[in-house]
């Protein structure tokens, strides 16, 4: 059985005319002899509207109810697409996460997929019926609706491809591939024909919005043939490949930015063993991911300052949790700053070529851009800077690393 998974994002299904165009793409795959699983996002803007409805009701709602509200957007899209396909005489039906079921843990808002039951969808495919799956959602073991986090439909698509041993997984979006940086900010950005899983994972985790980080990690783990394509133009996209096919590439792949950043500084933390464990253990208990971390040197070996970054969307929860911890660790002051952006330079070239950090820091200094925090990995350098300068930083770094068209 030849199976393909096609995923369409919010802009790809923005309205009924666009949904009808997507139906024609699916019809073509069916006519080519494929069994098709289609994963859809909510229509463009719908999820944000649902979030606002929740926020207008409560600042900190029960997460289980929050997920129930947010999951409704994909439900509408999947049903409309099934209707459009049936009008074209293509058998199709919509599936919600709990109907399949896609079983997740109960970490509401960013649940992890534990298992996908394949029997129901396979029954569809065997009778040549297109399965239209509502992305971004699942069901917990206690029978509550869960969501996978923003961009979670990408993860749904790759997980479906892995579970059904699909020939490929195509991610359709509003751009025609993966670019060296955001082309809306840097007009000279160029499209990449290929990029390794590892590079794509770093770009995604550092803020590139083409693919959700978890979807790339899943594709790499299961060796899924993954492509990023345009919903609006019939152009070659970008293929995400295994590293060994591209190991000798001697250039930077791209520059990513993340606006969803909050910097937290705890001043006057006792310079004693176990303090950092208490702080970051508390954040972990609230499912808050910590990214960049800096601890200043203790002058008198009595107190120190600890600075770290988290997603801005988790700031209120983090602040409440840490201030409750203050009685235990007795730090002096809690400061937060959301006017920051993380800029990351990514590429396999960093494994073999020296001077990458020098080029990055000199470029920022030449443009009078101050660095707040630095972090590195084997193929990535990230800096936290003021949000006032992030577009200048991206354009300057893109040129400095020879990425301009």
pLDDT in tens, 297-345: 766 778 899 999 999 999 999 999 998 888 888 888 999 999 999 999 9
Strands (E) located in 2-43:
3-8, 35-40
Residue 132: CA atoms inside 13 Å, Cβ hemisphere, count? 28
How far does CA 158 lie from the centroid of its chain? 13
Domain at 3-174, CATH from 2.60.120.260, 1.10.290.10, 3.40.1160.10, 3.40.50.300: 3.40.1160.10
Rounded Cα–Cα distance for residues 171 and 229 (Å): 6
End-to-end CA distance of the chain: 42
The mean pLDDT value for 135-153 works out to 94
50 pLDDT tier (thresholds 50, 70, 90): very high
User: Where do the structural domains in the chain lie, given as residue ranges?
Assistant: 3-174, 262-337
404, pLDDT greater than 90: no
The mean pLDDT value for 96-102 works out to 97
249, pLDDT greater than 60: no
- 13-26 residue pLDDT tens: 999 999 999 999 99
250, pLDDT greater than 70: no
Residue 115: CA atoms inside 13 Å, Cβ hemisphere, count? 6
How far does CA 377 lie from the centroid of its chain? 19
Which residue is it, tokens 């499209």?
A: 191
Residue 40's pLDDT is 98
The mean pLDDT value for 193-210 works out to 87
The mean pLDDT value for 276-291 works out to 93
82, pLDDT greater than 70: yes
Residue 235's pLDDT is 87
Rounded Cα–Cα distance for residues 137 and 141 (Å): 13
Residue 329's pLDDT is 84
117 pLDDT tier (thresholds 50, 70, 90): very high
Which residue is it, tokens 């579970």?
A: 163
Q: Which residues contact 255 (CB under 8 A, 6 or more apart)?
A: 180, 181, 186, 343, 344, 345, 346, 394, 397, 398, 401, 403
278, pLDDT greater than 60: yes
100 pLDDT tier (thresholds 50, 70, 90): very high
Question: Which residues make beta-bridge pairs with 293?
Answer: 308
Rounded Cα–Cα distance for residues 315 and 336 (Å): 8
Q: What is the pTM of this model?
A: 0.83
User: For residue 361, which phi and psi values (nearest 5 degrees)?
Assistant: -70, -35
Q: Which residues contact 404 (CB under 8 A, 6 or more apart)?
A: 188, 190, 398
The mean pLDDT value for 51-70 works out to 94
The mean pLDDT of the chain is: 92
Kindly calculate the radius of gyration of the chain based on its CA atoms and give it in whole angstroms: 22
- 393-402 residue pLDDT tens: 999 999 999 9
Reduced to 3 states, what is the DSSP secondary structure of residue 269?
Answer: strand
Reduced to 3 states, what is the DSSP secondary structure of residue 35?
Answer: strand
Rounded Cα–Cα distance for residues 371 and 382 (Å): 10
What six digits make up the tokens of 23?
């139906």
209 pLDDT tier (thresholds 50, 70, 90): confident
The CATH number given to 262-337 is 3.30.70.260
Largest separation between any pair of C-alpha atoms in the chain: 77
What six digits make up the tokens of 228?
């990023």
244 pLDDT tier (thresholds 50, 70, 90): low
3, pLDDT greater than 90: yes
Strands (E) located in 213-369:
226-230, 238-241, 254-258, 262-270, 293-295, 303-310, 333-337, 340-346
* DSSP label of 298: P
Omega within 30 of 0 (cis) for the link into 101: yes
Rounded Cα–Cα distance for residues 197 and 213 (Å): 11
């Amino acid at each position: 059985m030849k199976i393909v998974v096609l995923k369409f994002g919010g802009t790809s299904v923005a309205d009924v005319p666009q949904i009808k165009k997507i139906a024609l793409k699916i019809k073509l795959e069916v006519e080519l002899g494929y069994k098709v699983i289609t994963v859809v996002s909510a229509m463009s803007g719908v999820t944000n509207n649902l979030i606002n409805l929740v926020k207008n009701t409560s600042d900190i709602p029960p997460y289980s109810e929050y997920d129930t509200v947010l999951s409704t957007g994909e439900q509408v899209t999947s049903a409309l697409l099934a209707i459009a396909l049936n009008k074209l005489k293509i058998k199709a039906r919509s599936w919600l996460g709990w109907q399949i079921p896609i079983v997740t843990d109960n970490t509401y808002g960013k649940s992890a997929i534990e298992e996908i039951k394949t029997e129901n969808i396979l029954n569809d495919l065997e009778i040549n019926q297109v399965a239209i799956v509502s992305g971004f959602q699942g069901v917990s073991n206690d029978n509550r609706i869960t969501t996978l986090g923003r961009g979670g439909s990408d993860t749904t698509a790759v997980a479906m491809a892995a579970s059904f041993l699909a020939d490929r997984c195509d991610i359709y979006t509003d751009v025609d591939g993966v670019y060296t940086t955001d082309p809306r900010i840097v007009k000279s950005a160029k499209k990449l024909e290929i990029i390794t899983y590892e590079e794509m994972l770093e770009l995604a985790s550092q803020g590139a919005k083409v693919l959700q980080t978890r979807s790339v990690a899943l594709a790499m783990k299961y060796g899924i043939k993954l492509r990023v394509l345009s919903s609006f133009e019939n152009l070659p996209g970008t293929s995400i490949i295994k590293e060994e096919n591209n190991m000798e590439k001697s250039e930077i792949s791209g520059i990513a930015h993340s606006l969803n950043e909050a910097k937290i500084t705890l001043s006057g933390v006792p310079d004693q063993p176990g303090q950092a464990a208490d702080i970051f253990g508390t954040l972990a208990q609230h499912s808050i991911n910590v990214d960049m971390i800096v601890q200043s040197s203790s002058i008198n070996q009595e107190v120190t300052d600890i600075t770290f970054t988290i997603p801005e969307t988790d700031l209120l929860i983090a602040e409440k949790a840490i201030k409750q911890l203050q009685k235990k660790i007795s730090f002096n002051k809690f400061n937060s700053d959301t006017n920051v952006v993380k800029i990351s330079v990514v590429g396999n070239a960093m494994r073999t070529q020296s001077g990458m950090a020098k080029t990055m820091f000199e470029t920022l200094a030449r443009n009078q851009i101050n660095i707040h925090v630095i972090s590195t990995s084997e193929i990535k350098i990230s800096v936290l800077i003021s949000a006032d300068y992030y577009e200048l930083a991206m354009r300057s770094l893109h040129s400095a690393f020879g990425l301009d068209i």
